[in-house]
């Protein structure tokens, strides 16, 4: 059975990952650097999770409202970042923000054109929708990193041996050019940027323990059973290997 985002084990493994590895924290810092925040702005954090994007934004003296539909994630987030206001869905039309931020999540909000148009409705003219996506999800390969497994392929291939995914591919994430076009059609003038960090083999291992990431391959197992399977597959992988991970980002200004 799929575990998804709305499960206490998901929030627990997500937080364990974030405490140990900088992937989301670093990506959020790059996102915030591209968001031109200044004290007093009203910010909507879409797909707020446990509050990692929100806390990076709050350092700039802004006022943050978080949207997080998964109750388990929202509960942990509201406990970690009580300075923000927490909602389970978009606020009513007519509430206007200066920024909509979406850290590490917009590809889960398909069809993207509808999400972009919804974001536009929440923004003042001159406000911006700022989001990021791992470039790999857009069909753009990363350059190799280092070690025996410089593309970090071993762990996923070991996990796949003897297992068939339980579901086919979902809706395709638009590529970067298509996102440019969708933004223009939704009434934005956008600037595309990118940021690149290192993903290590231990970080990949701990990331794969976040249950939604194995809902298709390891469904039927509990979160802890999945973590044990990931640990077993990790044995024999090169722990020193790492790969580059490029994130594509957009700062899209509402006309
Ligand atoms: C990878 S987490 C990112 C959390 C946070 N922004 C961060 O950078 O740490 C993605 C979050 O998006 C949320 N999410 C998924 N689909 C969503 C939707 N349609 N609308 C809003 N949030 C959604 C999930 O529940 C999850 O908490």
List pLDDT tens digits, range 204-245.
Answer: 999 999 999 999 999 999 999 999 999 999 999 999 999 999
105 CA closest ligand 1 atom index: 10
CA angle, residues 56, 126, 180, in degrees to nearest 5: 80
Q: Say if ligand 1 is within 6 A of residue 132 CB.
A: no
Q: Say if ligand 1 is within 6 A of residue 247 CB.
A: no
Which CATH code for domain 8-254?
Answer: 3.40.50.150
Q: Say if ligand 1 is within 6 A of residue 190 CB.
A: no
CB 150 within 8 A of CB 217: no
Give the Å distance between the CA of 243 and the centre of ligand 1. 24
CB 180 within 8 A of CB 238: no
Strands 63-67 and 85-87 turn out to be parallel
* pLDDT of the residue at 169: 72
* pLDDT of the residue at 138: 98
Residue nearest to atom 10 of ligand 1 (CA): 105
* pLDDT of the residue at 93: 80
* pLDDT of the residue at 60: 98
Tokens of 206: 């701990």
The pTM for the full model equals 0.97
* pLDDT of the residue at 222: 98
Q: Say if ligand 1 is within 6 A of residue 105 CB.
A: yes
Strand (E) or helix (H) holding 246? strand 242-254
Q: Say if ligand 1 is within 6 A of residue 86 CB.
A: no
Tokens of 68: 């997080």
d(CA 14, CA 74): 12
Q: How far is CA 203 from CA 14, 74, 188, 209, 223, in A?
A: 12, 24, 35, 10, 17
* pLDDT of the residue at 13: 98
Give the Å distance between the CA of 229 and the centre of ligand 1. 25
d(CA 153, CA 113): 32
Using alpha carbons, select from 49, 40, 42, 43 the residue that is nearest to residue 71.
Answer: 49
Using alpha carbons, select from 72, 113, 65 the residue that is nearest to residue 92.
Answer: 65
Q: Say if ligand 1 is within 6 A of residue 73 CB.
A: yes
Q: Say if ligand 1 is within 6 A of residue 49 CB.
A: yes
18 CA closest ligand 1 atom index: 9
Prior bond of 111 cis (ω within 30°): yes
* pLDDT of the residue at 166: 84
> Mean of the per-residue pLDDT values for the chain?
97
Q: How far is CA 103 from CA 13, 29, 51, in A?
A: 18, 10, 10
Q: Say if ligand 1 is within 6 A of residue 23 CB.
A: no
* pLDDT of the residue at 147: 98
* pLDDT of the residue at 117: 98
CB 145 within 8 A of CB 243: yes
Instruction: State the pLDDT confidence band at 24, using cuts at 50, 70 and 90.
Output: very high
CB 21 within 8 A of CB 237: no
List pLDDT tens digits, range 100-152.
Answer: 999 999 999 999 999 999 999 999 999 999 999 999 999 999 999 999 999 99
């Amino acid at each position: 059975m799929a575990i998804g985002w709305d499960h206490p084990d998901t929030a627990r493994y997500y937080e364990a990952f974030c405490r140990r590895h900088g992937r989301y924290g670093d990506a959020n810092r790059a996102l915030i650097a591209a968001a031109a925040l200044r004290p007093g702005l009203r910010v909507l954090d879409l797909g707020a999770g446990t509050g990692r994007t929100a806390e990076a934004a709050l350092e700039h003296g802004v006022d943050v409202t978080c949207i997080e539909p998964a109750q388990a994630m929202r509960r942990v987030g509201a406990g970690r970042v009580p300075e923000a206001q927490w909602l389970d869905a978009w606020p009513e039309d007519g509430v206007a923000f200066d920024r909509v931020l979406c850290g590490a999540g917009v590809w889960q909000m398909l069809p993207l054109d509808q999400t972009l148009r919804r974001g536009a409705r929440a923004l003042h003219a001159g406000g911006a929708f700022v989001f990021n996506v791992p470039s790999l999800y857009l069909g753009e390969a990363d350059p190799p990193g280092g070690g025996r497994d410089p593309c970090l392929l071993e762990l996923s291939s070991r996990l796949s041996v003897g297992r068939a995914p339980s579901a086919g591919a979902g809706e395709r994430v638009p590529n970067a050019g298509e996102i440019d076009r969708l933004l223009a059609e939704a009434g934005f003038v956008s600037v595309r940027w990118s940021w690149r960090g290192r993903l290590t083999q231990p970080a990949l291992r701990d990331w794969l323990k976040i249950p939604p990431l194995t809902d298709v391959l390891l469904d039927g197992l509990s979160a802890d059973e999945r973590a044990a399977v990931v640990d077993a597959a990790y044995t024999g992988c090169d722990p020193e290997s790492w790969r580059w991970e490029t994130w594509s980002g957009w700062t899209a200004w509402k006309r």
